[in-house]
């Protein structure tokens, strides 16, 4: 098992290196001469060259990539000339909000989707199952911004139940406790995720129900709740672990839409704003971060699966 995990870790690092190379090349292609970008169009050629020379931008590409990596390893993601701030500090300001929003939504979706999917599997083809399936399909196929607009339209504008805008607190603690203000963004993210996860959970549950060990468990005289809890649940959840890891990119994309829609502080909103500002260092650093988050998500899912599945753990 350890060997497997080390191997996974190494491949993850290699992929991250690849992502870094891509983002580096993006920077390089968009702005081969940062001097021009920083000093502006009116600066003299000589001034630009001097700037590039002083900052090492005229060195060979591979050397520059090396120093880029060196900076990354030291947690230096670049500098936003547009905002006159290090990208690091931008991320430090915005990341906690995004992480909270995604984290709580993933947590809620899992907590809702697993029992829901198992319920559907056990009661397969019942009216309840079909109703949930219909709802899940609707939610899943609906574009997220449309879902958000619907929720705002009814819950915020029509019935005044929740504000249409997320908490504007820049500090994270008040933001976390602003459940009422953040209800709609969390709901939007959660509904989409539940729709996807519950479909998957239903089919994983059906697969597990059809296995012989379920029949054997019943033949032992165990009660139905015990059979489901002890024998079905764990086996049906295993494939979910991977799915959740794989859905990290979707979640990130969801954050873009939702943060923009509800004007919530966070990396997603930052990304969209800076994209409009042509603040490339920030946009590219966030892209890199998104890539890394995806790789890390998959790695964590693999580790979790390894721990949870004795067939992988004991070999």
Partner 1 sequence: MEPVLEINDLSTHIQLSRSVVQAVGNISMSIAPGETLGLVGESGCGKSMTGLSIMRLLPNGGKVVGGSIKLSGVELTKLSDADIRDVRGNEVAMIFQDSLTSLNPTMNIGRQIAEQVRKHRHVSRAEALERAAEALSIVGFPNSKERLDNFPHQLSGGQRQRVMIAIALSCDPKLLIADEPTTALDVTIQAQILGLLDDLKQRLGMAVLLVTHDMGVVAGRADRVNVMYAGRIVESAPTTELFTHMHHPYTQALLGSIPLLTQNRSERLFSIPGIPPDLTDPPPGCRFAPRCSRATDQCRTEEPALEPATNDHHFACWHPVDGPIVRTTIAVNGTAPAPAGAGEAEHSDAAPGAPETVAARNGSAAEPAFGARGWQSGEGDDRLLVVDDVVREYPVTSGVILQRKVASVKAVSGVSFTVGRGETFGLVGESGCGKTTLGKVIVGLEKADKGQVALRGTNVTGLRDRQLRRFRKDLQMMFQDPIASLDPRMRVGAILREPMKIQGIGTKRQQDKVIADLLGEVGLPANAVERFPHEFSGGQRQRIGLARALTLNPQVIVADEPVSALDVSIRSQVLNLMKRLQETHGITYIVISHDLAVVKFLADRIGVMYLGKLVEMGTGEDIYLRPVHHYTAGLIATVPEPDPMREKSKSEVGIKGELPSPVTPPSGCRFRTRCPAAQQICAEEEPPFRPFHPGHVAACHFPLQQPIDGGDPLAAQAGTAPTIAGS
> Please, which residue, 41 or 212, has the CB nearer to partner 1?
212
User: What residues pair up with 79 in beta bridges, in sequence order?
Assistant: 86
Token code pair at residue 234 = 């764990």
Task: Provide the minimum distance between the beta carbon of 248 and partner 1 in the complex, in angstroms, as a whole number.
Answer: 25
Looking at the chain, list the stretches that DSSP marks H as alpha helix, in order from N- to C-terminal side. Answer: 2-30, 34-39, 45-54, 61-73, 87-122, 127-141, 144-151, 172-177, 179-209, 212-219, 224-226, 234-246, 248-261, 267-276, 280-308, 310-313
> Please, which residue, 10 or 253, has the CB nearer to partner 1?
10
CA dist 166 and 183 (Å) reads 8
Contact predicate 290/249, CB 8 Å: yes
Task: Provide the minimum distance between the beta carbon of 240 and partner 1 in the complex, in angstroms, as a whole number.
Answer: 13
> Please, which residue, 39 or 222, has the CB nearer to partner 1?
222
Residue count of the chain: 315
Task: Provide the minimum distance between the beta carbon of 11 and partner 1 in the complex, in angstroms, as a whole number.
Answer: 8
> Please, which residue, 61 or 307, has the CB nearer to partner 1?
307
CA 170 to chain centre: 21
Angle at 34 between CA 28 and CA 35, to 5 degrees: 150
Task: Provide the minimum distance between the beta carbon of 177 and partner 1 in the complex, in angstroms, as a whole number.
Answer: 38
Token code pair at residue 47 = 């001034």
Token code pair at residue 190 = 């959660």
294 CB-near residues (< 8 Å, 6+ apart)? 248, 249, 252
Other C-beta atoms closer than 10 Å to the C-beta of 129 total 16
CA dist 267 and 272 (Å) reads 9
> Please, which residue, 12 or 49, has the CB nearer to partner 1?
12
> Please, which residue, 98 or 306, has the CB nearer to partner 1?
306
Task: Provide the minimum distance between the beta carbon of 214 and partner 1 in the complex, in angstroms, as a whole number.
Answer: 8
Task: Provide the minimum distance between the beta carbon of 23 and partner 1 in the complex, in angstroms, as a whole number.
Answer: 25
The residues that touch partner 1, with contacts defined as CB under 8 A, are 3, 6-7, 10, 124, 211-213, 215-223, 230-231, 234-235, 238, 308-311, 314
Task: Provide the minimum distance between the beta carbon of 231 and partner 1 in the complex, in angstroms, as a whole number.
Answer: 5
> Please, which residue, 236 or 284, has the CB nearer to partner 1?
236
């Amino acid at each position: 098992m350890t060997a497997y995990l080390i191997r996974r870790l190494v491949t993850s690092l290699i992929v991250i290196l690849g992502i870094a190379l891509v983002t580096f090349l993006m920077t390089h292609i968009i702005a081969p001469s940062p001097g021009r970008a920083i000093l502006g169009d009116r600066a003299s050629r000589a001034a630009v060259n001097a700037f590039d020379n002083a900052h090492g931008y005229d060195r060979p590409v591979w050397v520059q990539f090396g120093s880029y990596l060196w900076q990354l390893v030291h947690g230096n993601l670049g500098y936003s000339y547009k905002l006159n701030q290090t990208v690091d500090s931008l991320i430090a300001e915005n990341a906690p909000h995004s992480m909270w929003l995604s984290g709580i939504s993933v947590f809620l979706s899992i907590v809702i989707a697993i029992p829901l999917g198992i319920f559907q599997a056990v009661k397969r083809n019942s009216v309840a199952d079909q109703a949930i399936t219909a709802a899940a399909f609707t939610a899943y196929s609906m574009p997220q911004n449309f879902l958000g607009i619907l929720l705002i339209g009814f819950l915020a504008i029509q019935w005044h139940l929740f504000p249409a805008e997320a908490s504007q607190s820049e500090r994270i603690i008040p933001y976390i406790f602003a459940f009422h203000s953040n209800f709609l963004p969390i709901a939007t993210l959660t509904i989409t995720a539940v729709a996807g996860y519950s479909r998957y959970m239903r089919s994983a549950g059906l697969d597990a129900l059809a296995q012989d060990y379920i029949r054997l468990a019943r033949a032992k005289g165990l009660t139905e709740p015990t059979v489901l809890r002890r024998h079905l649940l764990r086996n049906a959840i295993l494939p979910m672990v991977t799915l959740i890891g794989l859905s990290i990119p979707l979640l990130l994309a969801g954050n873009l839409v939702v943060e923009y829609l509800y004007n919530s502080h966070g990396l997603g909103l930052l990304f969209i704003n800076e994209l409009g500002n042509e603040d490339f260092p920030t946009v590219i650093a966030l892209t890199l971060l998104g890539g890394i988050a995806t790789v890390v998500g998959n790695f964590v899912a693999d580790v979790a699966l390894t721990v949870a599945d004795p067939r992988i753990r004991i070999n």
